[in-house]
């Protein structure tokens, strides 16, 4: 089920509009083919930041590093 638009998502229903403009009701998020991902990990169930490959703690940046990130010299 690629190239779809989710029109409504609630605890009971997911309303999906596909490329053929056919409305389909899906009651189970787990059964959707094109689930959202973070860092290539499908968002199914409860995931930890470690499972999603997110940074565990923020590392402080120096002013020089910030300037480099925003295009300063």
Tens of pLDDT, residue by residue over 5-63, are: 555 566 566 666 666 655 556 677 777 777 889 999 998 888 988 899 887 777 888 99
Residue 16 burial by Cβ neighbours in a 10 Å radius (0-12, 13-18, 19+): buried
Asked if residue 42 lies in contact with residue 35, where contact means CB atoms within 8 angstroms, the answer is yes
Q: Domain coordinates of the chain in residue numbers?
A: 5-55
pTM check: above 0.75: no
Of 35, 37, 31, the C-alpha closest to 51 is 37
- pLDDT at residue 49, as a whole number: 87
Of 38, 55, 56, the C-alpha closest to 47 is 38
């Amino acid at each position: 089920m690629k190239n779809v638009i989710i029109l409504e998502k609630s605890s009971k229903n997911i309303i999906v509009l596909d490329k053929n403009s056919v409305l389909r009701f899906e009651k189970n998020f787990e059964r959707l083919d094109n689930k959202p991902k973070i860092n290539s990990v499908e968002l199914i169930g409860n995931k930890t930041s470690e499972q999603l490959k997110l940074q565990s703690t923020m590392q402080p940046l120096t002013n020089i590093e910030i300037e480099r990130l925003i295009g300063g010299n």
